[in-house]
Amino acid sequence: MDSHLLTVILLGIVEGLTEFLPVSSTGHLILASELLGYNAAEWATFNVVIQLGAILAVVMLYWRTFWNVAMGLFGLDQGALRFVANLLLAFLPSVVLGLALHSQIEAMLGSPTIVAVALIVGGVAILMIERKLGTFRYSGVDRIPFGRALGIGLVQCLAMIPGVSRSGATIMGALSLGVDRRTAAEFSFFLAIPTMMGATTLEMVKNRDALMDASVNWGDIGIGFVVSFIVAIVVIKLFVGWVSRRGFAPFAWYRIVAGSAALIWLLMR
């Protein structure tokens, strides 16, 4: 297998493996570019498009949930209306801050050191939150109060710092606000759809010239998309069962170890 194809497959695996785990997919892709030595700018369009594979995995696995919500909306079902309202409320802060701070966010994406530090700090934060969890009061996305859904969305905005993790911030925010582990994880999956679609659309518009360029290798993008999709399906199915029983501490320790190793390597090279 040549090195180019290996990079395509590895990046697809990284995206699918880390997008829905509280370990930061963006951070891992940034560190991967440093470790593998490839030009991250040349793969920017690739990384943006293959995110859609991870999004499709959520849609495929939870299609019955989305179908029931869609049917409920036609009948003005209160549960369906609250489900959609909670997602929109949680999505809103990232739209406002994402557009307002776009240039600052772009600047941080070029710093692997920020990623390493954020991985460590985020890991410590997860351990602290896990140890202080009280009684879970809310089970089911449609049962989360509107104010708490908005609060989860505000916490998700911390993920604009590369290395923080969108899913990690969303899940930890939900847990801190009384949402049970399974619902927190699933809310993170559902919220990923509008959040990632919005971010991906913004990046595709920004990189529209590159996407229209004849030099874009759609074969590579197709492979990365499929790899990301398959890996994300496996991860989501295993992740929900795992966190429902054992919590998030193993991911916190992984973040601390990976972030520390990356920081040491970056400082010594």
Q: Domain coordinates of the chain in residue numbers?
A: 3-268
Q: What is the CB neighbour count within 10 angstroms for residue 218? A: 11
165 residue type, one letter? S
Predicted model pTM: 0.85
Tens-digit pLDDT string for the chain (269 aa): 577 788 888 888 988 888 888 888 888 888 887 777 666 666 667 777 788 888 899 999 999 999 999 999 988 899 999 999 999 999 999 888 877 777 777 777 668 889 899 999 999 999 998 888 777 888 889 999 999 999 999 999 998 888 888 888 999 999 999 998 889 989 998 998 888 887 777 767 776 666 666 556 778 888 989 999 999 999 988 887 787 777 788 889 999 999 999 999 988 87
CA–CA separation, 111 and 179 (whole Å): 33
Report DSSP state, residue 85.
Answer: H
Q: How many other CB atoms are there within 10 angstroms of residue 19's CB atom?
A: 30
138: which strand partners? Answer: 179
For residue 216, the model assigns a pLDDT of 61
pLDDT at 71: 94
> What is the predicted pLDDT for the residue at 214?
53
| Amino acid 255: pLDDT | 94
Q: Residue 59: CB partners within 8 Å, gap ≥ 6?
A: 66, 193
How many Å is the Cα radius of gyration of the chain?
A: 18
155/148 Cα distance (integer angstroms)? 10
pLDDT given for residue 217 in this prediction: 72
